[in-house]
Structure 1
Amino acid sequence: MSPRRSASGGSIDRLRTIRFTFDGEAYAGHAGDTLASALLANGVRLVGRSFKYHRPRGVFTAGIDEPNALVTILRDNVREPNIPATRIEIYDGLRAESQNRFPSLAFDLGAVNRLGGRMLGAGFYYKTFMGPAVGPLRSTRFWMFCERFIRRAAGLGRADHAPDPSRYERMNAFCDVLVVGGGISGLMAAEAAARAGKRVILAEQEPETGGFALWSGETIAGKPAADWARTMTEKLAALDNVRILPRTTVWGHYDGNTLAALERIGDHLPKTPKGHPRHRHWTIRAGAVVLATGALERPIAFPGNDRPGVMLAGAVRRYAGEFGVLCGDRTVFFTNNDSAYQAASALKRAGGHVAAIVDVRRTISEAAAALAAEAGVVPLTGQAIVETRGGRQVTGIVVQPFDAATGALSGDARPVECDCLAVSGGFQPVIHLASQAGAKAEWDETMQAFLPPAPGQHWRGAGSFLGDMTTAGALETGRDAGLWASGKKPSRAKLPETGAPPIDIAPAPVFEIRGKGKAFVDLQHDVTADDVRLAHREGFVSVEHLKRYTTLGMATDQGKTSNVPGLAIMAEARGISIPEAGTTRFRPPYAPVSIGALAAERYGDLKPDRLTPMHDWHVEHGARMMEAGLWHRPMIYGAPGETVEQAYIREAGAVRRSVGIVDVSTLGKIAVKGPDAAEFLDRVYTNMFSTLPVGRARYGLMLREDGIAFDDGTTWRLGENDFLMTTTTANAGPVMQHLEYVLDVVWPDLRVHLTSVTDQWASAAIAGPDARKVLEKCVAGTMVDNEALPFMGIVRGTVEGAPVMICRLSFSGELAYEVYCGAGHGLHIWEALMDAGEPFGITPYGMEALGTLRIEKGHVTGAEIDGRTTARDLYLDWMLSKKKPFIGSGLMDRPGLIDRNRIRLVGVISLDGQPLGGGAHIVEGGSLDDLGQSIGHITAFCYSPALAKYIGLALVKGGKARHGTRAFVSDPLRKRFGPVELVSHHFFDPDGRRMHG
C-alpha cells in the first residue's frame, strides 16, 4: 500500500495499478487517481517551485484552481507545460516533469532569489530596468543587456518547438437548455428540464458527474450521495433528449447565449484512439443556461502559508473521500467558518488524525462543536496561525490568540506539531461565466464573497454558485433552476432529505493574519500581502492597476484562490469596503484552452475549403484548381502537354467561336426581401432599382461612404418585394456585412430582411454564339428566344426535370446566360448542359479564360475596384444616379476624386510581343536601368486569342486622354521593359452587338 493511502474508501479502483514517472522516478497509483492524488499517496510533497522566489511548493487544491502543482507532460515526443497535476488523470506510461527548477527540483539554484527579499517585490522590473536614463543601472543599454536573461528566467514550463501530432475537432451544438456543472444542483436542473421535453446538454469538467456528492460521504434520500448521483446520471443518459459531456469545461459565455467549451477526449488515455481527436472544441448556442458551476474555497494569508503541506481544507477532505489519500499523519485545520469542521470529521472517518482545529472566531455553532467532537479535538477558538515551520514541507505551526474584529494578536504563541495544514477562508462562487455574460458581480456581506449579478441574458444559477454551500441548498436551487429552464413554475414539493448537519459556512471577515515573514496571496506568482500594500503606497489603487503592477491573479489559475484576499487587503489599505474597491473583470477563458482546440481543423492554411457542387467533376476532367476568395475554382482544364497559357487561349477561343461553360456558383448571392427592399437597394446602389420590372435584372455598383467604388454585380427582381443580389466571389462576405450594418444601424426603420444564399444556389454560365442553341436543346417549360428572354431578362423552366432560373447576361461579351438551380441539382444540371452542348463542341473553361474574355471586353473586377478607384476612374459614371442620394454620393465629388489627372482605366497593347505582367508600372520613358517616372500600373493582362496579341488593363494618369499614345511597361522584378500602346479598355466588340444579338 502507498505510504499515505487509507486502508479503504474512495472511488478509485484499487485492483488496477497504474504506473507512471515523475521527474524520472517511477511511481504507482490506481485507476481513478489524478497525478496530484497519486503523488500525495506516494508521500511526494515537493512538486514545484514558485515563479519569482523559486520557493518549494506542494499540492494546494484538488481541482481546476491549483496554483502550485503545475507540471510538464511528455507525450508523443511533445512537451506540454503548465498542466495542473490536479487535472491529470494518470495512465500507464504517463511521464511528468516538475518545472521552473535547475538542476533539480530538490536542489534549485533559482532559490537564491529568496535572498533578494524586498528588492524583488512588486514592480521590481519597472524600477530596476525601465527607469529614466540616469546612471548606468537605469540606462536603456543596461536593460537591453539584462533582457535576455530576464526572459530566459521568466515563465514556468518550457514550450516545445516540435509539431503537435494530435488531432483536434470543433463542434457546433444547439440546445434548449445548457446546464454548466454536473454536481447535485446541475443534475437536478438537467432532470427537470429533460422531463419537460427540452433538449438538454449537461457539461461537467470532471470525468464523472456528481461533484461534491461523489466524495462528501453524505446521504441523499437515505442512501449514499455518490450512489444517488450515479443513479441520476444513468437516468439522464438514458434519455434521448439529453447529452452529457464529461471532461468538458465551459470557458466562455458570449452574446445570445453562445458558450464555448473544451472537451478533453484523449488526455486520460495512454494513446488517443484512432480516428478520435485529443480535444474537441464546442460552440454551444442555448435557449437557456443553468449555471451550476459551484464555488471555490479561499485560503487565508498568513506568514509561511506557502510551504508544501499547506492545503485547502476542502482539498484534504476530497483527497480522503474520493481518492482514499490521507494528506498527512497529523493534520491541523485553520478556518474562519464551519466547513473545515466537516472536513476534519470526514478525515477522521477516513482514518486520518486531526491534531487541532484553529478557528479565528471566538464562538462556533453547535453543529461545528459536534463535528469537532467527532474529529476528536477541542477547537482552539479565537486564535490564529502566525507562523509555519519546516523546510521543504511543513513540520509545525505557531498559534497565537487573535481578535477577528480588530485583527490584533495578543498573548503567548505556542507551537503545534503537524505535517499537513488544511486552511479554509470561506468560499467564492464561480461566477466567471455569469460575469462574462455582461453584468457586474454583487458583494454579499454575509458570505464575504462576490455573488453572481442579475442575469443580463437568459440564464439562471443553481446551488453553491448562488452562495448556498449545503447539499440541501444544492438540491433545492438545482430543482428550481431546472424548472425555470423548462418553463414550469417551481413547486414546493418535498426534496430528498440529506444526511448533512446544518452548519454555518458564512465566514468571519478575516483574509490575512499579520506576523513576521511573507504572507502569500498569489502563490504561483509570489505576490505577498506586503506587495499589495506597496502597490497602494505607490498609487496603484485601482484593482485593475493592482493586478498588472503586482501580477496578482495573472498566473495560469487566473486568481481563483487569490483574487478576493488580494482585493480585501487593498480595500483595508485604502480604508474602504471590498465592494467599493471593486473586482477585476472575469474574462474568458475560465481555464486554459489548448491552441490546437481553438484552431481545430483550421491549421496550416486557415481558410476553409469551399467547394462547389461540381468540384469533383472539374477535378475528374483535368481541372487545375486555384483559390478564389474562400472557394476552389478551376484555373484551366489542361490537356496533356498544355501550358497554362495554351490552355486558356484554347478555352477562350472556343467561347468566341462556339460555346463554353463556366462554373459561377461561387458568386455571392444575397436574398433581399421585404416591403422596403426596392427602397433599400436604391440607397445602397448608385443606380435605380425601384424602377426595375419583375423578371428583369440590372447591373449595379456600390460605393463606400467615402465615395470609393466598393463592389459591382447584378441584382434580379424575382417579385415585387423579392430581389436576388449577386456580388463578386471575394466580396460576398464584406458586402453582406456592409448591408447588415447599414440596415441595423443607419436605417433600422426599413422593413427589409437579408439572407446569404450563396450556398443555396449552384450556377453555370454558358457563353458564345451557340449558347442559345444549347439551352433550346435541354430547357423545358419556357422559350429562350430573343423575345421570351431578352438581354437582362429572367425566365424559369426545367432541365432534365430539375427546376432552373435563367438570366440572360454576359461577363464575356458574348451571347450568354446564367443558369441557376438548387445546389443539390448543381452537378445534374451541369452534366445536362454539357450533354446538350456536345454537338456544338461545348468547352468548359476556367478562371484564366474567364479573365481573358473579360479583359478583351473591358469589364472590371476586384483588380480595378481595388479600394482606391471611383466610378469615374472606371468610366462607370453613367451609373451615378442624379435622381436620388445613395451611399457615397455625399463624398464622391470631393476635389481629389474628380481631378482629371487621377489614374483612370485604359487598355494596354504590348508592342514587342511579350507578356505585360500584372502590377508592372507604366512609364513615359527610361530603360531597365533607368526606370523612369510611373504614370500608372497594369491591373490585369492576358494573351488575347481574339486580337492575337498580349493585352491588358491599366490605371493610368489622364486615362482616356492618353488613348493612341505610346509608353513603356517597366517591371524590374521580372527584368521586363518594353513599349506599349495605350488604347480604349474596350478591345473587343465595343458596341455590344454580340451579347445583344
Structure 2
Amino acid sequence: MTQKFRIGNGHSIDVRQPIRFRFDGVEYSAWQGDTLASALLANGVDVVARSFKYHRPRGIFSAGVEEPNALVEVGEKGRHHPNLRATEVLLHDGLEARGQNAWPSVRWDIGSMAQLVAPLLGAGFYYKTFMRPAWAWPWYETAIRRAAGLGRAPSHPDGGRHDKRRLFCDVLVVGAGPAGLMAALAAANGGARVLIADERDTPGGLLLDDSVTLDGMPCHAWVEYMVTRLETMANVRLLRRTTVHGRYRHHRYQLLQRDEQGTLLIAVNARHTIMATGAIERPLMFPNNDVPGVMLSGAVRRYLRGYGVVPGLRPVILTNNDSGYACAQALCEAGITPVAILDQREEVPSHSPGPMDGLAEVSCLAGVRIKAVHGRKRIKRISLESAGVERHIDCDLLCVSGGWTPTLHLLAQGGLDNQRVVFSDDWGAFVPVESMSLPDLTPAGSCAGVAGLVDILLSGREAGIRAVQGLESKSAVRLPAIPCPVFACTETSPLVSGVGSNEVGEGASTFVDLQHDVQVKDLELALREGYRSIEHVKRYTTLGMGTDQGRTSNINGMSIVAQRLSRPVEEVGTTTFRPPFSPVPLGSLAGRESGERLDATRYSPMHDWHQQHGAVFMPSSLWVRPQYYRLQEQCLHGRRLQVERQPDRSRLNQHQTAAGRAGEGTETLHEAACREARNVRERVGIADVSTLGKIELQGPDVAEFLDRIYLNNPGKAPLHKARYGLMLREDGRVFDDGTVVRIADQRFLISTTTVNAGAVLAHLEFHQQMVWPELKVMIEPVTEQWAVVALAGPRSREVLARTFPDDDVSNEAFPFLAYRETTFDAGPARLFRISFSGELAYEVAVPADNGLALWQRLLEQGADLGIAPYGLEAMDYLRIEKGHLIVGADIDGRVTPMDIGMGGMLRGENDCVGRRSLALPALSDRSRQRLSGFRSCDGHSAIPAGAQLLLRPWSGEPQRSLGRITSPGYSVMQEDPIALGLVEPVEKGATLYAVAPLTDQCVQVEVTDTVFHDPKGERLRA
C-alpha cells in the first residue's frame, strides 16, 4: 500500500486527502488530485496495458492526451467506460480500473504469444491471409472479429449524466498555457466576451513543469494569480477539463467537458478563436523503444513537479534537443541524480551541465546511438555506441525527447495546405507560416512555431489584441518580468538551438506507432509494395489510426517515408486531420436522447381518447397513431355507436392468418380494417390526422418560391383554394406530395406526409437560405400547433353542418378543394374540402388544445348517423381502392412523376427543383416500371407485400422480375384482395404471379387500372 515512488508533494495534489482505488483487482493508495497514471507510477505499477497487435507489455509513456499506451476501462464491468487514457482519468475514492487487450491480466497475457509469429503479422497481413481454404472462412471471421477493436463495449447503460449546452462568445481561447492566459487577458481587457477551454484540470500547460520565476513568483503561483484574475472578470469564463475537439464552418466549435458524473457537450459560436494549443513532445526511435520505463522527458517532469512522483530511481536521459537537460535538472532538484545524459547531436550544447545546474556529476555523452534496450516488463539496461565505443548502462527509466510538434489539429480541420503550414527544420515538424492569417483564427505560442518564454507570452498578448480589433481597448497588458533562466530554453519554450535528427536505430522492434505496433519495417514494406502517398501508407500500416491519432508517431512516420523516398518531408506532406481531436463518448453525442428519448415520441391531442376506446397503436415516424379499433359496443353521450360485423369470412382466409387477431375476441386485423373502411364507404368515419406535416409560408415572394419547389405551380392557386402538390428531388425522383392551400394573398399552408415532415422542412429551408436567398419568404412549421380531424363518408356533410351550424357547407357554397376559416368554441377553426379516402370528405383543424373537444363534438353530432373512428389500416384500404399513393411504399425514392401516372403535371415551362433532371434519357425510358393496379385472380388470396412480379409461377428457378408490389390491400366494395405496384409495360388484363420467396407465397394476379372504386371521382365531389 505504500507509494514507494512518491518522493514529495506536487502542486496538483492534496496530501491531506488520501484516497483508495483498485487497478486489475489490486487496491492502491493515492492523493486527491492524482490521475490514474500518476497514482500507478507512484505505486510502482509498470505494466498497465498491452499493445493491439502483438500484445507487448506497455507502460505509461506520457502525461496527457497524447498517451498511446495506457488505455484502461474504468467502472464496474458492464457499466464501464473503455479506452480511457490513464493520464486523463482523475482519481476519486473507490475508483475501479482495469487494463485492456489482455487476458487473464495485463502482467500475464496469453495473447502475448502473438509475438512468436510476429514475422507473419507484418503490415497488411490481413489482406494476404485467410483466403484458403475457403471452407474455413467462418472460423477465420470469428477469430478476426474477436481480435478486432480496442477495449470492450459496455453491456449496460453507463448511468452517467450527459448534457448539452450552446454558448456564444467574442473570443474563444483554446488552451490555458502561457500564451493562452496572456491572450485571454488581452482580449478581456479589450472588452470582449472571452471563453477559455483547457483540457487539464489545472490551467498553465507546460509552464507548470518549469522552475523559472515570473514576476518573482514560481511558475505555478503565477498561473494561479493569472487564473484568479481572469475568473474575477465578468466577461471571462474558464472551462476546465474541456477539450475543443472539432472546428466547423461558420465559426462553430464542439467542446467536451468531463467530470466524475459524466460529460457536457458544448456547441460554441465564436467570432474569433485563438489557438494556443501548445506542442507535443516526440519520442525517439530505437530498438525496443516500447519497453515499460521508456517515457517522454516532459512527462517525467510533469509527474515530478505536479504529483511528486519519480517514475524511476536510476534514470537516463536520451535527447536530441535541449529539453532533455531541463528534465535532468528537474530530476536533480528532486534528489534523483540521472545516471547519464545521452545527446544524439554530435556536440553537447554550450549550456551543458555546470556547477550552477546541479548536474556537474552527471555524465554527458554526445553523438550517441542506441543499439538495444534490455528488459521485458521493465527497462533494465541499454546498450549504446558513442565515439565508436560500445557501452552498457543499467537503468530503470529512460527519459526520451525527440523534439516538439506544434498541435495544429484545429487549424488542419479547416484544411491543411502549403499556404498555411510549412516544414521547419528547427522544429523538425510542420508549423504555421508566419504570414498565415485567417479572419476568424489566430495561432499563438508554441503551436504557432514560437520558441522562448518571452516570445510565447508576447505572441499570446498580440493574438488577444488582434482578436478584439474594433473594440475599444480598456488597458494594455504588461508582460511579466522573467529572470534569465538557467538555460536559454525551458520547457515553456520547448526549442532553442534546434532539434537534431531522429535517427532510426537498427533492429527488428523499432516502433513508430506504439498503440498499433507499427514498426519501421512496416513502413518500409509499404514503400516496397508500391505505396507512395502518405495517406496510403497510413492505411496500409495503420500508422496513426489509433485513439491517439498519431500525436506521437505521425511526424516520425512521415520523416521515415521521406528519408526512404529521398524526398523532403514537406513533399511527403501530412495525413488528414479530422474531428474529433480526441475520442468523444457516444453517450455524449446522444446526450439525454437515449433509451425512450432516442426518438421523441409524439402523441396527438386525442391520444388518450383513442387509448380509452380500444385503439391499437403503431408507430408512424415519430408519432404514435391508431392502427385500428377493437370491436366493441361504444356509447358516447348516451348514444350507441353503430358497428357492423364483417360478412362471409370464407373470402378472407389468408388475411386472417397473416394479420393475426385484433383484440380479445375473434376479429382479425383485416376484419377490423374492413369494418372501419366499410363504415366510411356506407356511412361516415372519423380519423385523427393531426400527425400530417403542416408548414406555413408567407411573404411577397411565397408564390414564386412554391412554384420553384413544386412541379405543378401551386403558387397560382386562387385564394381559399387547395391544390395537390408534387415535390421532386434534384435528381428528378418524387420526394413528397400533399396539399397546398392559399389561405391569404401572401400566405400558404402546405401539408406533407407524416414521415417526411422534417425532411420537407429541411428541404424548404435549404432552398430558402442557400439557393434563392433573394426571395422574401418566411417558413414556419406548425404541425404541433393544430389538431386535425378527417371526416369522410356519404353522410359527412351532415355531421359537419351540425357541428358548424353557422357555416354553409353545401356543395355549391363549399365545393371540392375549398378552404374556409371559421370558429369553434370561440376559437379559430379551418375547414378543408379534401379527400384521401375517395369519399365525400373534409378535414377540420383547430388549435391543439381544442382537438379533443372537436373530436368528441363530431362523434356526438354523428352518433345517429353511424359515425365511427377508423385507423391507419382502414385508411390504407380506402386509399388503395382509389389509387392514392403514399411516401415510403409507392413513392419510395426511385420513382419519377411519369412512373406513377403524374406525367401530365409536366405541362408548361415551370423550372422547378428536379424538372431538368426529368429530361435524362434513363428517366423517360418507355421500358421503365409504371404504376398499375392488381387484383387477386381467385378473389380471396392476399397479395404479399413487397412481392416480385413474375411471368410464371415460382418453382425455385431464377426468373427476371417485371416489377414489385408496393401497397397490398383489400377492396371492401368489391370484396377482393387488391394492390398497387410498379411493373414493366404490360397489357391490362394480363396475368402475372406475385411471389414472396421468404414467406413461400405465390399469388396469381390480374393487371388492372390503379383506381378500383369510383374512377370518375363522383363520390368525393358529391
| 1:809 pairs with one of 812, 834, 838 | 834
TM-score where L is the length of structure 2: 0.81
1:906 counterpart = 2:900: no
Change (3 A) 1:662 1:283: farther
1:412 counterpart = 2:404: no
**Equivalent residues in 2 for 1:788-867, closer than 5 Å:** 790-800=815-825, 802-820=827-845, 825-832=847-854, 834-835=856-857, 838-841=860-863, 843-862=868-887, 863-867=889-893
Give how far 1:207 is off: 3.2
Change (3 A) 1:755 1:780: farther
CA distance in 2, matches of 1:845, 1:340: 80
Give how far 1:219 is off: 4.6
**Equivalent residues in 2 for 1:912-927, closer than 5 Å:** 912=939, 916-919=943-946
CA distance in 1, matches of 2:922, 2:126: 51
Give how far 1:702 is off: 3.7
Partner of 2:712: 687
Change (3 A) 1:632 1:213: farther
Change (3 A) 1:289 1:661: farther
Unaligned regions of 5+ residues in structure 2, if any?
A: 633-663
Partner AA of 1:159 in structure 2: R
Give how far 1:63 is off: 1.2
8 Å contact from structure 1 (residues 386, 514) kept in 2: no
8 Å contact from structure 1 (residues 778, 833) kept in 2: no
Change (3 A) 1:858 1:418: closer
Partner AA of 1:394 in structure 2: I
The number of residue pairs the alignment matches comes to: 965
Give how far 1:121 is off: 8.1
8 Å contact from structure 1 (residues 434, 455) kept in 2: no
Partner of 1:405: none
CA distance in 1, matches of 2:180, 2:54: 41
| 1:955 pairs with one of 963, 967, 981 | 981
Give how far 1:48 is off: 3.9
Give how far 1:322 is off: 1.2
| 1:300 pairs with one of 279, 284, 298 | 284
Give how far 1:66 is off: 1.5
The secondary structure found in structure 2 opposite 1:624 is strand
Partner of 2:640: none
Partner of 1:25: 26
Between 762-771 and 34-43, the greater mean CA deviation after superposition: 762-771
CA distance in 1, matches of 2:953, 2:113: 69
The secondary structure found in structure 2 opposite 1:4 is coil
CA distance in 2, matches of 1:907, 1:542: 57
CA distance in 2, matches of 1:899, 1:519: 65
Partner of 2:620: 628
Partner AA of 1:751 in structure 2: L
The secondary structure found in structure 2 opposite 1:493 is coil
Give how far 1:835 is off: 3.3
Partner AA of 2:36 in structure 1: L
CA distance in 2, matches of 1:773, 1:495: 86
8 Å contact from structure 2 (residues 929, 963) kept in 1: no
1:508 counterpart = 2:498: yes
8 Å contact from structure 1 (residues 780, 798) kept in 2: no
CA distance in 1, matches of 2:957, 2:115: 67
CA distance in 2, matches of 1:498, 1:675: 65
Task: Percent identity, please.
Answer: 37
Partner of 2:423: 443
Partner of 1:591: 582
Give how far 1:843 is off: 4.8
Give how far 1:782 is off: 8.5
The secondary structure found in structure 2 opposite 1:625 is strand
Change (3 A) 1:809 1:457: farther
Change (3 A) 1:727 1:396: same
Give how far 1:354 is off: 3.5
| 1:765 pairs with one of 775, 786, 789 | 789
8 Å contact from structure 1 (residues 100, 156) kept in 2: no
Change (3 A) 1:987 1:90: same
The secondary structure found in structure 2 opposite 1:320 is helix
Change (3 A) 1:990 1:196: farther
| 1:393 pairs with one of 368, 371, 378 | 378
Change (3 A) 1:698 1:139: closer
Partner AA of 2:245 in structure 1: W
Change (3 A) 1:145 1:672: closer
CA distance in 2, matches of 1:700, 1:625: 29
The secondary structure found in structure 1 opposite 2:546 is coil
Residues 676-706 of structure 1 show CA distances to partners (whole Å, capped at 9, x for unaligned) of 6544544553423353234432112245667
| 2:737 pairs with one of 703, 712, 715 | 712
The secondary structure found in structure 2 opposite 1:712 is strand
The secondary structure found in structure 2 opposite 1:226 is helix
Partner of 1:578: 569
Change (3 A) 1:188 1:830: farther
| 1:879 pairs with one of 905, 919, 937 | 905
The secondary structure found in structure 1 opposite 2:3 is coil
Give how far 1:635 is off: 2.0
| 1:422 pairs with one of 375, 392, 399 | 399
Partner of 2:447: 465
Change (3 A) 1:587 1:984: closer
Partner of 1:275: none
Give how far 1:551 is off: 3.3
Partner of 2:639: none
Partner AA of 2:498 in structure 1: A
The secondary structure found in structure 2 opposite 1:308 is coil
Partner of 1:407: none
Between 921-930 and 220-229, the greater mean CA deviation after superposition: 921-930
Between 906-915 and 308-317, the greater mean CA deviation after superposition: 906-915
Change (3 A) 1:771 1:431: farther
Partner AA of 2:751 in structure 1: T
The secondary structure found in structure 1 opposite 2:411 is helix
Change (3 A) 1:873 1:247: same
**Equivalent residues in 2 for 1:29-428, closer than 5 Å:** 29-52=30-53, 54-73=55-74, 75-77=76-78, 81-100=82-101, 105-106=106-107, 119=119, 122-123=122-123, 125=125, 129=129, 147=140, 151=144, 159=152, 162-166=155-159, 169=162, 171=164, 173-176=166-169, 177-190=171-184, 201-216=195-210, 218-230=212-224, 233=227, 244-266=238-260, 278-361=262-345, 373-377=357-361, 380=364, 382-387=366-371, 390-391=374-375, 392-397=377-382, 401=386, 410-428=387-405
Change (3 A) 1:374 1:803: farther
Change (3 A) 1:579 1:773: same
Give how far 1:764 is off: 0.4
Between 603-612 and 562-571, the greater mean CA deviation after superposition: 603-612
Residues 693-751 of structure 1 show CA distances to partners (whole Å, capped at 9, x for unaligned) of 34432112245667654432222335555544333223345555666777889x66873
Give how far 1:228 is off: 4.8
The secondary structure found in structure 2 opposite 1:905 is strand
Give how far 1:319 is off: 0.2
1:547 counterpart = 2:549: no
CA distance in 1, matches of 2:127, 2:801: 83
Give how far 1:811 is off: 1.8
Unaligned regions of 5+ residues in structure 1, if any?
A: 131-137, 267-271, 273-277, 402-409
8 Å contact from structure 1 (residues 252, 260) kept in 2: yes
Partner AA of 1:762 in structure 2: W
Between 640-649 and 29-38, the greater mean CA deviation after superposition: 640-649
8 Å contact from structure 1 (residues 50, 57) kept in 2: yes
Residues 404-460 of structure 1 show CA distances to partners (whole Å, capped at 9, x for unaligned) of xxxxxx343555554322222221121112211223243233333212474667333
Partner of 1:14: 15
Change (3 A) 1:240 1:914: farther
CA distance in 1, matches of 2:114, 2:1008: 76
TM-score where L is the length of structure 1: 0.83
